[in-house]
Chains A and B, each alone.
Chain A
């Protein structure tokens, strides 16, 4: 079955750019029919949708983050990536990648904690 795995630095300095990659296995991003998504969860808090991308490159972002977010896809590596610029402590969170279909998200990666601190 399809599995997702996040990777990237666990510590980012304030004002720098957070970069994460999600590797998809067990299925091809290029097969279509799904959007590939990033979602985050602040410590002890609820879930926040960041955005998603289609294999063709079409992207949709949360308006509250849109000015700082870029999601891209590399179909040759079966990966998609997140870049969040000008980070602050408020961006400290567990970042999940997930496959979006119909009205829901599944499966999800295990999540990766990113801490913003100097």
Chain B
């Protein structure tokens, strides 16, 4: 099973600042990595798929990069609505076994 480790566990920033979230895989996942945002009481929302492709309707301030084992989600300038928990997720094609990271909580400083 591929383990995803997200860092930091908590990130404290102010609106307008740049956020950089990391996700490291225990072995290569190629570019089969996605990022999600989850707010309290809500389902996760897909932000990025295939490591760097923004999902439909996601603002341009969200970007993803990386391949292999190291991935980054960047939010260029934080808006108040961006404070939430962010998860990364990888897809293993064979055997099929998707796993999620433990999450990074982005909180207002």
Contacts and interface: CB of A to CB of B under 8 A. Distances in A.
Q: Is the interface of A mostly helix, strand, loop or mixed?
A: strand
Contacts of B33: 103
A105 interface: yes
Given A47-B100, A49-B97, A49-B99, A103 B32 contact: yes
Contact of A63 (B31, B42, B89, B97): B97
Contact of B100 (A49, A100, A103, A110): A49
A66 to B, nearest CB: 10
Nearest to A96: B43
Interface residues of A, number: 22
Given A47-B89, A62-B97, A106 B46 contact: yes
Contacts of B91: 100, 103-104
B96 interface: yes
A93 B49 CA distance: 25
Contact of B43 (A52, A60, A63, A108): A108
Contact of A104 (B49, B96, B97, B99): B49
Contacts of A101: 49
Interface of A: 46-49, 52, 60, 62-63, 96, 98, 100-111
Given A104-B89, A106-B55, 18 more contacts: A46-B100, A46-B102, A47-B44, A47-B87, A49-B97, A49-B98, A49-B99, A49-B100, A52-B96, A60-B95, A100-B98, A101-B49, A102-B50, A103-B89, A103-B91, A105-B89, A106-B49, A108-B45
